[in-house]
Structure 1
Amino acid sequence: MRLCGVGDNVVDRYPDLGVVYPGGSACNVAVHAGRLGARAGYLGSIGRDAPGDLIRHCLASEGVDIRWARYGDHPTAWADIKLDAQGNRTFTDYRAYTEELRLRPADLDYLASFDLAHSGHTSLVERQLAEIARVTRVSFDFSYKDMSYARPLLPSVGIAFFSRPALDREGCEGLAAEALALGPRQVVVTCGDRGALLATPEHRVWQPAVSTTVVDTLGAGDAFAAQLLVALHAGAAPEIAMARAAAYAAAVCRHPGGYGYPADLAALYEDPMPPPTQEETT
């Protein structure tokens, strides 16, 4: 499988712990897909600052193709996170990068070399989603966004992800049915520790959450999405793909950060990292 994350990158800061991790949904999914055997790429704008250097270095270290990433003078987005005793995370502050990602014809040619482009509501690609869908299949994470946001985008989406931890079973199935009617072949509704639903025109698969010792829930949804996408593309039955995704997400919850690579928070905002070597970028 060939998967490209398109859009956001961010550093996840834990002020209480004095540590920071690379993140962002598009990057997280690309990294986890690569770890699961996919050929992974990333297309987005990375800041020319120390947090951006961390993101670039970590993506390259994971073998994610970043040759088509852009580098801008904008500051890297960050999210401040607090963990409770159960490892559940709360975002306490956030600074977004708000410039729309504008794709060039060469970018679309690059995306056409992938089986799937994964993006989401934080990636600022809404106005170009139809163009992406013309060259490759689109996976899109709507997260908590409602149908007024999702409705105009769903015709361009092949597999849609929603997060509804407070919605009951009937509500999740209703949301999935409404989304399916607008174009996607598959709709996933994640419900936190209550599990997740995969809906297709032919099937409804409910997967319970896998019990685990939780250290940090950050990035679990992205890990779930990556494993599900890889398994479905490999031809796994929906029930098998969902079980693998739940198990993989549970494993990620046992470790801090979206995909590892801790850095010292104070040092990161003082001294830039060295750029990656040529071997890391090819």
Structure 2
Amino acid sequence: MVKVVGIGDNVVDKYVHIKTMYPGGNAVNFSVFAKLLGANSAFIGTFGDDKEAQHVESVLKKLEIDLSRCRHFSGENGCAYVTLEEGDRVFLGSNDGGVTREHLLELTDEDISLIQECALVHTGLYSHTGHLLEKLGSLGVPLSFDFSDDFQQQQVDQYIPFVHYAFFSCSHLSENETKEFLRNNHQRDGQILLATRGSEGAIAYDGTSYFHQLPEYVEAVDTMGAGDSFITAFLLTYLKTNEIVTSMKEAAQFAAKSCLVEGSFGFGVTYE
């Protein structure tokens, strides 16, 4: 069984209109979706000491995610405030990662040993791991990075040399602008850049060819985590098949299913 690891952010997404919080965060979502897709999955991150942290950690343990290299600090867990408008998530604000931002990860020998057992490492812009990418990229394990939708070009220039798989949310760009962006930022053989564009579908670029995938249309209950589910399914399928077209199709199907679940992957509890 393939093993993968998500490194970085864990949060609770607090749905203010129903006073319910769900576990999430890009790195946590990757680890959970990978587990649901049949991988052996680990998460390396930082938990606070509040009820929010306790909820996320208990859910991950229930799902049998390897948390052996996680840290704990006194302080607020990552928290985002969210509402829904016709099934689409709307972010209202956050504490910018809480203890994840306040206590930046530094890799230990034990962390590196776990990472080198894995077929893939995934992290992202909200994980506060930019300072680790050069080291992560040198460990001989393929590195995936989610630049999300509010990346700056300076961050792309700084991080992408170390990355094997790079993901961007590019709903603000036209198809031609997206292709130009991917082409301009592709740096080396074997690197795959992929842009998701909401209802317009996704475009991938491998340095030679572009690949297109339309979304699978469903009546969305909640789009939270849809991008992470797409990324995870793409990566795990690509690890098995080495085929971009097949991987994008599997990703679209899995992302559609995730839109039928409340929160990123369920497990909501009420809060005061």
Aligned equivalents of 2:111, 2:190: Cα separation in 1 = 24
Aligned equivalent of 2:38: 37
Shift, 1:113, TM fit: 1.0
SS in 2 for 1:255: coil
SS in 2 for 1:153: helix
Change (3 A) 1:238 1:171: same
Amino acid paired to 2:225: G
Comparing 164-173 and 4-13, the one that deviates more = 164-173
Q: Alignment length, in residue pairs?
A: 265
Aligned equivalent of 1:72: 73
Comparing 182-191 and 35-44, the one that deviates more = 182-191
Comparing 125-134 and 181-190, the one that deviates more = 181-190
Q: Is the 8 A contact 1:3 1:41 kept in 2?
A: yes
SS in 2 for 1:81: strand
SS in 1 for 2:257: helix
TM-score by structure 1 length?
0.91
Aligned equivalents of 1:184, 1:150: Cα separation in 2 = 17
Q: 1:110 aligns with which of 111, 114, 117?
A: 114
Counterparts of 1:23-34 in structure 2, within 5 Å, are 23-34=24-35
Q: Is the 8 A contact 1:151 1:182 kept in 2?
A: no
Q: Is the 8 A contact 2:165 2:193 kept in 1?
A: yes
Higher relative contact order (CA 8 A, sep 6+): 1
Shift, 1:236, TM fit: 5.1
Structure 1 runs, 4 residues or longer, greater than 4 Å off: none
Aligned equivalent of 1:270: none
Aligned equivalents of 2:24, 2:85: Cα separation in 1 = 20
SS in 2 for 1:188: strand
Shift, 1:70, TM fit: 1.0
Comparing 25-34 and 173-182, the one that deviates more = 173-182
Aligned equivalents of 1:73, 1:56: Cα separation in 2 = 15
Change (3 A) 1:210 1:238: same
TM-score by structure 2 length?
0.94
SS in 1 for 2:147: strand
Q: 2:152 aligns with which of 140, 146, 149?
A: 146
Aligned equivalents of 2:233, 2:51: Cα separation in 1 = 30
Query: What is the identity percentage for the equivalent residue pairs of Structure 1 and Structure 2?
Result: 28
Amino acid paired to 2:157: R
Q: Is the 8 A contact 2:21 2:271 kept in 1?
A: yes
Note the residue ranges of structure 2 that are not aligned, 5 or more in a row.
none
Q: Is the 8 A contact 2:188 2:207 kept in 1?
A: no
Aligned equivalent of 2:210: 204
Aligned equivalents of 1:183, 1:118: Cα separation in 2 = 19
SS in 2 for 1:22: strand
Aligned equivalents of 1:182, 1:152: Cα separation in 2 = 15
Shift, 1:39, TM fit: 0.9
Q: 2:252 aligns with which of 231, 246, 256?
A: 246
Shift, 1:201, TM fit: 2.0
Aligned equivalent of 2:95: 95
SS in 1 for 2:4: strand
Aligned equivalent of 1:131: 135
Change (3 A) 1:66 1:11: same
Change (3 A) 1:142 1:228: same
Shift, 1:111, TM fit: 1.0
Note the residue ranges of structure 1 that are not aligned, 5 or more in a row.
267-282
Q: Is the 8 A contact 1:156 1:183 kept in 2?
A: no
2:271 pairs with 1:259: no
Aligned equivalents of 1:213, 1:246: Cα separation in 2 = 14
